[in-house]
Structures are given as C-alpha cells and as structure tokens.
C-alpha cells in the first residue's frame, strides 16, 4: 500500500526499524538529541537556519541508510515522501470459555507423618551443634598474662613512629601545596567531527573565547554556560563571543555549525581544532578538572 509521509515520519520510522533509541542515534550521527527530535517532528523552527537544517537532514539520512538527495529534494519542495507501507499482520486469538478452561488440580495436602524424618534430622543437627560449641568453650586455653614493661615499650615505640610519619606527611603536603600546576587544555580524543578535551588546573570563572575569521559565518552553541539555548552566529559584524562556564560545572558541550575559520581559547589557553577537518557540523566536549591548591 502506497502512502505519503512527512520527512520526519520517514526518519523516525527508519530509526525505529534499526532499533535505535534517541541516545544511540545521537552517538551514531553526532547530532544533538534535541535536533534529532526536531527533525523527526518536522519542527524546523527549532534548528538554527536553513543551511544547518539541510546539513543535519543529509547527515541523519545517510547514517540511517536513506536516500539523502531525495530527503533534501522533499524539503526544498515542501512536499511529503511517497513510501510503500507493509500490511500489518493480524494475529488470530481463540477465546476459551470459562466452562472449557482446565483448572490445575489442587495439590494434595500431605499428612504430618510425612515431615517426621525432616524434623528428626533437624533435631540431631541441632544437638551436634550444641555439643561442638560446649566442647570449644570448656577446652578454651587460658589467656597468658601480658608483661607490662614489654607492652609499655611497644606502645612508646609505636607512638614515636606515628609522630615521625605525621611530620613527614606534613612536610610533603606543604611542599606539594606550595606550587600549583599550570593550566592545561589537552585533546584526549578526536575525529573529523568530534573532539574531547581535558581542561585542567583552572579556577572559576572559566571563560571560553570564540573568534571567527573575516568572511566566516559560524553558529556556536554551548551548554552549562551563559550562552543562550539557541546559540549565536558569529559574522563579520560580531565575530567574537565569550562563554563563561557555570561555576562548579564539570563539563560543557560546544556545538559548531563548522570549525573552519574558528579559534577557541580557554582562559587564554588555545584549544587545538586541527582534527576538525569537516566542513559541516561538529561537537567539542570539555571535561573540567579544577585546581584546588594555592601557593
């Protein structure tokens, strides 16, 4: 049977056929879950712009094994997609009347004599246990007297050793806390579309500065920060943006329309974006480890 469906319905049905949840689809396509929901519900107003809508539609369709060109064409023409629906297979159920049902036979109640052997064995085991406990108590050896002088000497030596260890630990702690490690921003994992970076030895406020090259047009979104939920577009008129990470947050996810022509620094320390060679959307996950020591 032929039916006309929206782009969102086609995408959602294909994802369901593949057995993918929204989180699994996000990991497969590297598209944020909220944008996947927007695509599957045909809510294009929730996406940053026409360029990014087509980019996400193409990327999502290709990852699901759909015809991306057909999807883009349907979006440009504002039409649905003609698909062939499979007929549902209806199962036939047979209703059994109450009078025809076979009830399980009630278990025959056993007489008390049936449990006599079990009770007897339990009683014997209990008597054996009592006998063993009594024998242990009666044959327990006497505790030898402790020599007071030896005990006093041992106690004094132990106290002196603990005092020396405590002093050594204090000196080591004082030495380690006198010098704070330098702030670092290092890339731990990278593909052409995704980067994971470790931000270490930084104290709040942690500021992520974005700078777009002349002639660039880059959409930037950032979680756990003062950047608005809808993100911001960097252009020649406003080609810089400072995002302050929420105090105490241990991570922040940066979503980019493209990384081409973009420079990022974190509290003045540059982030290496050379791995992001794609011209499409990309994602950066910052894992934050704050310094807790001061000199």
Give the separation between CA 271 and CA 190, rounded to whole angstroms: 12
How many Å apart are CA 281 and CA 26, to the nearest integer? 13
Q: Write out pLDDT tens, residues 53-106.
A: 999 999 998 999 999 999 999 898 888 887 776 654 444 444 445 555 555 454
Residue 143 confidence (pLDDT) above 90:
no
Q: Which residue would you say has higher pLDDT here, 89 or 125?
A: 125
The per-residue pLDDT for 90 is: 43
Q: pLDDT tens digits for 26-60?
A: 999 999 999 999 999 999 888 888 999 999 999 99
C-alpha distance from residue 256 to each of 25, 31, 54, 237 (Å): 19, 11, 15, 18
Overall average pLDDT of the 215-232 stretch: 86
Q: What is the DSSP letter of 11?
A: H
Pairing type for strands 262-266 and 251-256 reads unpaired
Section 16-24 average pLDDT: 92
Q: State how far Cα 197 lies from the chain centre.
A: 15
Q: What is the pLDDT of residue 237?
A: 74
CA nearest to 67, candidates 16, 27, 11, 19: 11
Kindly report, residue by residue over 253-294, the tens digit of the pLDDT: 988 889 888 899 999 999 999 999 988 888 989 999 987 544
DSSP string, 50-76: HHHHHHHHHHHHHHHT--HHHHHHHHH
Pair 75, 14: CB distance under 8 Å: no
Query: Which pLDDT score is estimated for 272?
Result: 95
Q: For residue 33, give the 3-state DSSP assignment.
A: helix
Give yes or no for a contact between 12 and 40, defined as CB atoms under 8 angstroms apart: yes
Q: What is the pLDDT of residue 180?
A: 66
Of residues 89, 90, 84, the one with CA closest to residue 1:
84
Compute CA distances 258 → 95, 262, 273, whole Å: 61, 8, 11
Helix runs in 65-114, H state only = 68-77
What pLDDT is stored for residue 147 in this prediction?
A: 47
């Amino acid at each position: 049977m032929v039916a006309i469906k929206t782009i969102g319905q086609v995408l959602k049905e294909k994802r369901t056929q593949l057995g993918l949840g929204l989180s699994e689809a996000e990991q497969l396509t590297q598209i944020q879950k909220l944008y996947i929901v927007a695509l599957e519900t045909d809510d294009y107003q929730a996406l940053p712009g026409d360029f990014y809508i087509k980019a996400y539609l193409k990327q999502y369709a290709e990852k699901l094994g759909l015809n991306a060109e057909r999807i883009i064409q349907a979006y440009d023409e504002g039409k649905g997609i003609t698909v062939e629906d499979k007929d549902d297979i209806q199962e036939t159920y047979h209703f059994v009347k109450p009078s025809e049902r076979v009830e399980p036979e009630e278990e025959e109640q056993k007489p008390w004599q049936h449990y006599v052997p079990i009770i007897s064995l339990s009683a014997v085991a209990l008597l054996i246990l009592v006998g063993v406990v009594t024998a242990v108590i009666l044959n327990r050896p006497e505790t030898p007297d402790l020599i007071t002088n030896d005990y006093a000497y041992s106690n004094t030596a132990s106290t002196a050793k603990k005092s020396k260890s405590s002093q050594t630990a204090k000196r080591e702690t004082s030495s380690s806390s006198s010098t704070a490690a330098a702030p670092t921003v290092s890339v731990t994992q990278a593909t052409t579309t995704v980067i994971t970076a470790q931000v270490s030895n930084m104290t709040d406020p942690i500021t992520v500065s974005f700078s777009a090259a002349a002639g660039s047009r880059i959409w930037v979104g950032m979680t756990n920060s003062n950047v608005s939920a809808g993100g911001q577009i960097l252009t020649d008129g406003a080609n810089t943006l400072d995002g302050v990470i929420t105090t105490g947050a241990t991570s922040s996810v940066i979503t980019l329309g493209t990384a081409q022509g973009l420079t990022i620094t974190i509290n003045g320390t540059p982030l290496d974006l050379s791995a992001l060679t794609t011209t499409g959307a990309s994602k950066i996950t910052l894992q934050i480890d704050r310094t807790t020591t001061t000199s």
